[in-house]
Amino acid sequence: MDDLFAVPRGWLESFGEIVKFCARILGDIASLRVFKYFGEVLRQAGILIVSSTLVIWGLVFIIGLQCGIEGAYFDRSVGVPAYAGVFAAWCDLRELVPLCFGYMMAAKVGTGIVAEIGSMRISDEIDALEVMGISGVTFLCATRLLGSMLVLPFVYLCSIGAGFFASYLAVVQQIGDVSSGGYFLIFWQFQNPPDVLYSLIKAMAMAIVIVLVGCYYGYTATGGPVGVGTATAKSMVFNIVSVHVIGMLGTQLFWGANPRAPIGG
Amino acid sequence: MSFEDSEGTPIAGDLADGSPAAAAGPELTTRPAPPPGASEEEYANHSYKVYPSGRRNVVEFDNTYKSFGRNQILRGLTMGIPEGMVSMILGPSGTGKSVCIKHMVGLLYPDSGDVRVQGESVPDMPDEQLFEMRKKFGLLFQDGALFSSMNLYDNVAFPLRQHTEKSEQEIEEIVMRRLTEVGLGYSRDKLPNELSGGMRKRAGFARALVLEPDILLFDEPDSGLDPVRTALLGELILEIHREMMEDAKAQKKPYLPTFAVVTHDIMSARRVADYINVLWRGRIVEAGPAQDMLNSDNPFIRQFLAGESQGPLTMD
Ligand SMILES: Nc1ncnc2c1ncn2[C@@H]1O[C@H](COP(=O)(O)OP(=O)(O)OP(=O)(O)O)[C@@H](O)[C@H]1O
Ligand SMILES: [Mg+2]
């Protein structure tokens, strides 16, 4: 019986470790300790903008196109082609844009953090920092998290724009069952400003988890370069699962009880 | 030279109260028992003699045990690093010299026993105090541990930028002086991965020095260097120590600059060391001022300091 529970117990323990570690990072931000290294925060924010925004927008754009095409043909097949805007309004904003953002964050930013911090760990660079009297958690992890929190809302709002624009292109310009005006009429009817806020909350929850998990796996990497590789893979698994769980919970919480749509009423 | 008589108790006197290595002067009265699980034969060559240095110890290990899993590394280590001296820590490869250094700065904690820096117990320190205490140290890691995302100049400037309010101009002056001393003035814009191992070592050396801390720890500063550079590095260490001593005396600092160097190079140990600690099987075999150690009649010490293949130390 012991063996049977060994694996889940291991998971629970490492989950507890992650939570404790994340609490330290959040504590560094809450207590403003991280502002000692504000230069580093800005540097990390800059790196994020330069290296990751385009690829995130690109992915969201592609999914927006797909969603537009599928939506337009589906609505045509059920005889309401004018309603193609619903897909853009719902599918893009509520589900696909946050998910794609989460995927790309996990793949590009999350793994990048594990690799960077992990290689610093195995080459004693973190120890060197600590010996200089600088906390590795504050200087490496809290600065990355705060940097992300500064730029990602902006990045994400732009991604929503990219997704909408792509769906518009697909529905109106490519397939052309509805006019531009007709499309937007439906598009705006099926969403309201809080939806954007909810979507943003979903995505930021994902981003924060991804950065924290990346920091944890990097900071605790052991076992040389192979160990960093293993940690990277583990963080990716954890993050993809988290992205879906957060996506699902968010949808349940924000739209589960009330779709906030002008249907039937 | 007020420091010498300020608290000039010899190490042996400090330890005379009940600790296992309690010694009254160089001649031992009671031999400490071997660590749990080890036989008396394995420690037959440990005479545990500590020749007095006449200085107080800035760093002290007190019956420290540390193991990684089943692998016992420190096995009741009692050792002192005397103030204001250049100490060498010698010992066969894999005995735990690097582990020992990591204990001094609180990167590793002992399983039992104590490590004290300037009289304060490192394992007992709360985080805040530990980070403050570490500012007294400069540490050269065995493999340099330069920040791979920064060029050499930024690496060496990093501690200054973080811990001082100096202007960029002052920083540049200090950094370039240190880089030139170690012969890297022309490589300031190179990234660590563009350097050879020996160059990384020298850059790490410059970085450890840059804040002029009270205690400098060098983990094999000379490995990976050619014989000439090794000799020059030894001289550089002595020269920097002399300079820092003069500064410290002029400024009446409470502690004199103390260097601890881990090395395998017996020649530089002979040239540079004021004090020698020889570590084997997790304990000090013998320790004392260089002259006493070089004249020691302990077979292990004689073998080790002469670098001979015949003697108590074998490959296993
Ligand atoms: N973090 C660690 N985890 C597990 N074992 C370790 C760890 N650090 C060191 N060891 C073990 O401790 C022993 C001593 O290591 P250490 O690096 O201190 O040796 P050393 O005396 O510095 O040797 P060298 O002269 O070759 O550098 C080794 O057997 C090593 O396997
Ligand atoms: Mg070593």
B20-57 per-position pLDDT tens digit: 444 444 555 678 888 888 888 888 888 888 999 999 99
Least confident among A28-42, A73-87, B196-210, B288-302: A73-87
Measure the CA–CA gap between A219 and B199, rounded to whole angstroms.
Answer: 27
Q: Is residue B141 situated within a structural domain?
A: no
Is the whole model's pTM more than 0.90, yes or no? no
Is the pLDDT at B304 greater than 70? The verdict is yes
ipTM of the complex: 0.82
CB of B109 less than 8 A from some CB of A: no
User: Across all residues in chain B, what is the average pLDDT?
Assistant: 86
Q: Which chain B residues have a beta carbon less than 8 Å from that of A124? A: 141-143, 145
Is the pLDDT at A108 greater than 90? The verdict is yes
Residues of chain B above pLDDT 70, percent: 91
* DSSP letters for A5-43: HHHHHHHHHHHHHHHHHHHHHHHHHHTTGGGGGHHHHHH
CB contact under 8 A, B139 and A128: yes
Asked if A74 contacts A179 with a C-beta cutoff of 8 angstroms, the reply is: no
For B57-69, the pLDDT digits (tens) are: 999 999 999 999 9
pLDDT of residue A113: 96
pLDDT of residue B251: 92
Q: Is residue B279 situated within a structural domain?
A: yes
Instruction: Tell me how many domains chain A contains.
Output: 1
pLDDT of residue A188: 82
Q: Which chain B residues have a beta carbon less than 8 Å from that of A134? A: 131, 162
Measure the CA–CA gap between B14 and B116, rounded to whole angstroms.
Answer: 13
CB of B134 less than 8 A from some CB of A: yes
User: Across all residues in chain A, what is the average pLDDT?
Assistant: 89
Q: Is residue B37 situated within a structural domain?
A: yes
Across the range B79-103, mean pLDDT stands at: 93
pLDDT of residue B9: 41
pLDDT of residue B17: 41
Closest A-chain CA to B160? A132
Across the range B278-285, mean pLDDT stands at: 92
CB contact under 8 A, A120 and B162: no
Is the pLDDT at B3 greater than 50? The verdict is no
CB contact under 8 A, A124 and B162: no
Q: How many helices (H) and strands (E) does chain B have?
A: 11, 11
Q: Is residue A242 situated within a structural domain?
A: yes
Asked if A61 contacts A162 with a C-beta cutoff of 8 angstroms, the reply is: yes
- Which residue carries 């990277």 as its tokens? A232
Give the domain CATH number at B32.
Answer: 3.40.50.300
Task: Using the mean position of ligand 1's atoms as its centre, give its distance from the Cα of residue B68 in Å.
Answer: 9
Closest B-chain CA to A139? B162
Is the pLDDT at B277 greater than 80? The verdict is yes
For B99-110, the pLDDT digits (tens) are: 999 999 999 999
Q: Is residue A4 situated within a structural domain?
A: no
Nearest chain A Cα distance for residue B217, angstroms: 11
pLDDT of residue B26: 54
Q: Of all atoms in ligand 1, which is nearest to the CA of residue B99?
A: 18
Is the pLDDT at B232 greater than 60? The verdict is yes
Q: Is B57 helix (H, G, I), strand (E, B) or coil?
A: strand
CB contact under 8 A, A131 and B163: no
Q: Is residue B49 situated within a structural domain?
A: yes
Is the pLDDT at B8 greater than 50? The verdict is no
Measure the CA–CA gap between A102 and A239, rounded to whole angstroms.
Answer: 8
For B144-153, the pLDDT digits (tens) are: 899 999 999 9
Ligand 1 atom 8: the closest Cα is on which residue? B99
Closest A-chain CA to B103? A131
pLDDT of residue B15: 41
Q: Is residue B237 situated within a structural domain?
A: no
- Give the closest of A119, A125, A131 to B134, CB-based: A131
Q: Which of B71, B278, B285 for mutating ligand 1's site (highest number of atoms within 8 Å of CB)?
A: B71
Asked if A256 contacts A104 with a C-beta cutoff of 8 angstroms, the reply is: no
pLDDT of residue B1: 39
Q: Which of B61, B73, B109 for mutating ligand 1's site (highest number of atoms within 8 Å of CB)?
A: B73
Is the pLDDT at B12 greater than 50? The verdict is no
Q: Is residue B234 situated within a structural domain?
A: no
Is the pLDDT at A162 greater than 50? The verdict is yes
Number of Cβ within a 10 Å radius of residue A85: 28
Least confident among A206-215, A216-225, A250-259: A250-259
Q: Is residue A161 situated within a structural domain?
A: yes
- For residues B33 and A42, the model is more confident at A42
Task: Using the mean position of ligand 2's atoms as its centre, give its distance from the Cα of residue B107 in Å.
Answer: 14
Is the pLDDT at B217 greater than 60? The verdict is yes
Nearest chain B Cα distance for residue A117, angstroms: 11
Is the pLDDT at B294 greater than 60? The verdict is yes
Is the pLDDT at A87 greater than 50? The verdict is yes
Q: Is residue A176 situated within a structural domain?
A: yes
Q: Is residue A265 situated within a structural domain?
A: no
pLDDT of residue B238: 92
CB contact under 8 A, A133 and B105: no
Q: Is residue A261 situated within a structural domain?
A: no
pLDDT of residue A2: 61
For A124-142, the pLDDT digits (tens) are: 999 999 999 899 999 999 9
Instruction: Tell me how many domains chain B contains.
Output: 1
pLDDT of residue B21: 42
Closest B-chain CA to A125? B145
Asked if B122 contacts B106 with a C-beta cutoff of 8 angstroms, the reply is: yes
Question: Helix, strand, coil: what percent of chain A each, to 5?
Answer: 90, 0, 10
Q: Which of B61, B90, B97, B219 for mutating ligand 1's site (highest number of atoms within 8 Å of CB)?
A: B97
- Pocket (CB within 6 angstroms of ligand 1): B 68, 71, 73, 91, 93-99, 142
Q: Is residue A67 situated within a structural domain?
A: yes
Question: Could you tell me the pLDDT band of residue B14, with boundaries at 50, 70 and 90?
Answer: very low
Domain enclosing residue A138, as ranges: 17-254
Q: Which chain A residues have a beta carbon less than 8 Å from that of B134? A: 130-133
Measure the CA–CA gap between A239 and A245, rounded to whole angstroms.
Answer: 10
Domain enclosing residue B85, as ranges: 1-136+261-316
Measure the CA–CA gap between A223 and B202, rounded to whole angstroms.
Answer: 26
Q: Is residue B241 situated within a structural domain?
A: no
Task: Using the mean position of ligand 2's atoms as its centre, give its distance from the Cα of residue A168 in Å.
Answer: 63
Q: Is residue A140 situated within a structural domain?
A: yes
Across the range B2-6, mean pLDDT stands at: 41
Q: Which chain B residues have a beta carbon less than 8 Å from that of A133? A: 131-132, 134-135, 163
Nearest chain A Cα distance for residue B131, angstroms: 4
Across the range B1-27, mean pLDDT stands at: 42
Ligand 1 atom 28: the closest Cα is on which residue? B94
Nearest chain A Cα distance for residue B149, angstroms: 9
